[in-house]
Each structure stands twice: as structure tokens, then as C-alpha cells.
Structure 1
Amino acid sequence: MTTTEPFFPQSGRLAGIDYGTVRMGIAICDPGRILVSPLEILRRSPPEQETKYFRQLVQTERIEGFVVGLPIHCDGGESDKSRESRKFAIWLQETTERPVRLFDERFTTADATRRLQAGGMSRNRRKQRLDAVAAQIVLESFLEAARYFGDEKLPGQPIDAPDDGAAPLDDSDQ
């Protein structure tokens, strides 16, 4: 049985997001999808301010799509935090009119911490950069998976279909 994946651009700049309820790390790649750089940390704000921020990000950075980190338990199961990330991804796609994929973010914070420690940053400076570096790792991992699978499979998950056998999200349960 063949399923059709939702459209996701095969070229152009992407933004990676390490979603959080207090702040979000943002990273972007170059148009050739070779280099990924941490961009900034966005402190959460009212929805109208975040709408303005993400629409402006799409315009100024020429973003073609987003990859949002999906927190998954070590056993592969999803949590309330996973559900929050999915809802954010749906909002982001509706707000920016850009496609969004979810990508497993297990161990990204630990990896980001190791990278920053290896760079010799002070604890305070590491804390300031951690979420943006975690977003960088999510986006790097997504791009690496995309290169590995080629045209065979789009990495990650669509925003509305949990990979754990659960039913797709339905806003009626809010």
C-alpha cells in the first residue's frame, strides 16, 4: 500500500525549531542545505507577537519549510510534550503557510550541552545558547536523514499523524 506524503520542499532554506513552553531555539540552513547554524532563542510571547515573528522570519530568511523537534520517550512513545509540539507545528504551518515536519529530538539537549562544553563556553553562556544549538542538531539530523533516504522516504512525521499508532490529532479534545 502506497501512501502519499504531504508536500515538503526538496530545496531551499529550512528552519529548525527546538520547541519549548518558555523559549524556543531556532536554527537555519543555507539554501543548498549543507550548513546549519543556530540563529537565536525566542522567548515565548503572546500569539500575535509570535505570529509576527514567524511570518517575518519566513520573509527575511527566505524559509521554505520548518522542522520542529518532536520529544519522544526512549521507548518510542509520545507524551503530553509531544502533543504540544504537534499543536505548535500545526499552528506554525497555518500561520506561515510553509510546510512543517516533525523530527525525533531524543538526546539533542545532551548533544548540544556536550558541543557547547567542548567549545569551552562558560556555564552561563552555554545556558544562553543551548536551545538554539539543540535546534541546530534537530535540523542537521533531519537533513542527514533526507540525504540518506534520498527520494525513497521523507524523514520525520507529518504534523497531524502520531507515529505510535494513536489516532491523528483532533482539536475537539482541547
Structure 2
Amino acid sequence: MAEPLSPDSDATAGCHAFVERGTRIGVDVGKARVGVAKCDPDRVMATPLETLQRDKKQRSDLRRITELAHEYDAVCVYVGLPVNLEGEHTPSTKDAMRFARQLERMLGTVPVRLLDERLSTVSAQRQLHEAGRTIKSSRSVIDQAAAVEILENALEAEKRSDAWAGQSVAAASAS
């Protein structure tokens, strides 16, 4: 059997490798809130976990995600990388990258990967609307739904390529 490819490596472009079984965490970083989702160890389904308030001073949001990652024995955390429709960085991109770097330091051995999240919130809003939720009633779950969308996109990419999705925090920071 092939050795698992570490999710903190960037040997995923055009490369097929055995991607290990295990829970992944998806994170949607916003200005006011952070949505968190997880998948089952077999990567079949992503489910919402929590919506956290952003806490840039005390970092309680980062600490809680770290707790969740350890509680669920996560093998990887995917953080959505907000870019504009042309794929260019925005102020939100830099904020998400900073958040991901801090999270990676706190997690220790659990790698963090950044994944293009273009339109994840729009897609989550559409799905909630189709489920009969109004914008007002969706506010408490929209961030979780966006985290689910990010994680589902990562899982689909992993299954298509048999490699980790997105890019490592180090590679994203260098670009």
C-alpha cells in the first residue's frame, strides 16, 4: 500500500497519491463570524458544527477550532480563501491567510490547507433559501453552511485527484 501523502506537502499538483482516511474540518472565515463544519472519517458527508464570533484579540475562535480539530481527530483543516471572481486577492484574502497561519501554529501537527472559496457563501445562501429559510432566519447558520460548502468542495477535489485539495499555508503565503 502506498504511503499517505502529508496534507502539509505541496506535492498534490498533477500528482495522484493515497489520501488518508479521517475527519476533515472546514472553516469559513468572515469579518464578524467563523463557520465550522466537519466530515465523517470516510469523507462521505460534511455537516455543520458551529458558528463562532471572530475574536482577534483573545483568539477564542482559533482556540475553539483547535479544540474541535483535536476532539474529532482531524487529519486536515481546510480554510476557505476568499478571492474575487477573477481569482485575485482581496483584503479578506489576507485576513483568511493570517487566520490560517495562526490556526496552523496552534494546531501543531494538524495541517491547514487553503481552498478557493469563490461563491461559497452565495451557494450556501441559495441552498438555505431553497430549503425555505429566510435571510433573517439563516444568519445564525449561514457561516456553518458556507463552511460545509468549502469542505464539500475539498472532499470532491480529493476524490477526483486522490490528493489533498487546495494549497498549504506556506505555499499560499509565498504566492
Q: Deviations over 1:81-125 (max 9, x none)?
A: 111111111111110111011001001111101110111123322
Match 1:109 to one of 114, 121, 139:
121
1:37 pairs with 47, 51, 56, which one? 47
1:81 corresponds to which of 87, 92, 97:
92
Q: Determine if the alignment matches structure 1 residue 12 to structure 2 residue 30.
A: no
1:136 pairs with 2:139:
no
- Is 1:72 matched with 2:74? no
Asked if structure 2 preserves the Cα contact closer than 8 Å seen for 1:86 and 1:160, the reply is no
Moved over 6 A (4+): none
Q: Provide the secondary structure at the position in 1 that maps to 2:122.
A: helix
Query: How many residue pairs are counted as aligned between the two chains?
Result: 160
Give the partner amino acid of 2:80: G
Letter in 1 for 2:93: S
What's the TM-score once normalised by structure 1's chain length?
Answer: 0.83
Q: Aligned partner of 1:14: which letter?
A: R
User: Once the 2 structures are TM-superposed, how far is the Cα of residue 38 of structure 1 from its aligned partner?
Assistant: 0.9
| Counterpart pick for 1:168 among 148, 153, 174 | 174
Counterpart position of 1:126: 138
In 2: Cα distance, 1:63 partner to 1:160 partner: 20
Identity %: 30
Is contact 1:7-1:99 (8 Å) kept?
Answer: no
Could you tell me whether the CA contact under 8 Å between 2:36 and 2:51 is conserved in 1?
A: yes
* 1:110–1:127 distance in 2 versus 1, CA, 3 Å: same
In structure 2, runs of 5+ residues without a counterpart are: 1-5, 11-18
Q: CA RMSD in A?
A: 2.1
Q: Which residue of 2 aligns with 1:91?
A: 102
Could you say if the C-alpha distance between residues 113 and 76 of structure 1 is closer, same or farther in structure 2, counting changes exceeding 3 Å?
Answer: same
CA contact (8 A) 1:28 1:36 kept: yes
Does the 8 Å contact 1:108/1:134 carry over to 2? yes
Q: Name structure 1 gaps, 5 residues minimum.
A: 170-174
Higher RCO, Cα 8 Å, sep 6+ = 2
